[in-house]
Amino acid sequence: MKKPLTLNVNGQDYEVEAESNRLLLQVLRDTLGLTGTKEGCSIGVCGACSVIIDGRLVSSCLTLAAGCAGKKIETIEGLAKDGKLHPLQQAFIEFGGFQCGICTPGQIMAAKALLDENPKPSEEEVKDWMSGNLCRCTGYYKILESVMAVVNDKIDPEFAFRKREQTAKIQSLDVYKSVAKTS
Ligand code: FES
Ligand code: FES
């Protein structure tokens, strides 16, 4: 049986109806349309579904939505402010911290939870903290480099997201054309 529930996500209250066994991940994605939070393993192992609840990093695939009433839920959608990316989002773009992107929201939320508590972690502390977030693509070094770029203030203050996005698209097109020619 569905019950009414108020969830505070990224500072905004949402009134939803959910069964008592409905997972936070399902409510975020399927009910609220906040599909930035990804589903990977569904059993609390991969970290793709990571969100922050009352300052703590949690796996939303293991969290009942009903238990989140009255708590502050942060998802990847809440990070950019006034059209400006969060430093971690910018760093992941600048330092190539992602490829397919499936694990990326979880990686960024995990890193945010760490930096909120400890803005100057060592590389070893970052590695240790992020060990619960799996990536099938990047080999992890670029993710570490991205997080450390924020820790060490190495991100570009003049960063222009639009320009880099267009460049990336043009590069992908070139790669596509050269593959198409040879096949
Ligand atoms: S989907 Fe939740 S930890 Fe993998
Ligand atoms: S970027 Fe593809 S799984 Fe991490």
CA of residue 16 to ligand 2 center, whole Å: 31
Q: Which atom of ligand 2 is nearest to the CA of 136?
A: 3
| 151 sits in which H/E element | helix 141-151
Give the pLDDT confidence of 79-113 residue by residue, as tens digits: 999 989 999 999 999 999 999 999 999 999 999 99
Q: What is the pLDDT of residue 160?
A: 78
The pLDDT confidence band at residue 28, using thresholds 50, 70 and 90, is very high
87-182 folds as DNA polymerase; domain 1 (1.10.150)
Ligand 2 touching residue 100 (CB < 6 A): yes
108 lines ligand 2 (CB under 6 A): no
Domain boundaries, the chain: 2-78, 87-182
139 Cβ below 6 A of ligand 2: no
Portion of the chain with pLDDT greater than 70, in percent: 87
114-123 confidence digits (pLDDT tens): 999 999 999 9
CA distance to 12, 128, 161, per residue, from 74 (Å): 10, 22, 23
Angle in degrees, 0-180, between the axes of helices 87-94 and 141-151, rounded to the nearest 10: 130
Judge if the beta carbon of residue 64 lies within 6 A of ligand 2: no
Ligand nearest to the CA of 63: 1
Asked if residue 47 has its Cβ within 6 Å of ligand 1, the reply is yes
Best of 38, 39, 102 for a ligand 2 pocket test (most atoms within 8 Å of beta carbon): 102
Q: What is the pLDDT of residues 118-161, one digit of tens each?
A: 999 999 999 999 999 999 999 999 999 999 999 999 999 998 76
Q: Is the pLDDT of residue 163 over 60?
A: no
Helix (H/G/I), strand (E/B), else coil: 59: strand
| Residue 170: per-residue pLDDT | 61
Give the pair of three-digit tokens for residue 36: 């930035």
Q: Does any ligand 1 atom lie closer than 6 A to the CB of residue 100?
A: no
- The length of the chain in residues reads 183
C-alpha 112 to ligand 1 mean position (Å): 17
Cα 54 to ligand 2 centre (Å): 27
**How far is it, in rounded angstroms, from Cα 133 to Cα 110?**
8
Give every CB contact of residue 169 below 8 A, 6+ residues apart in sequence: none
Q: Is the domain covering 2-78 a CATH 3.10.20.30 domain?
A: yes
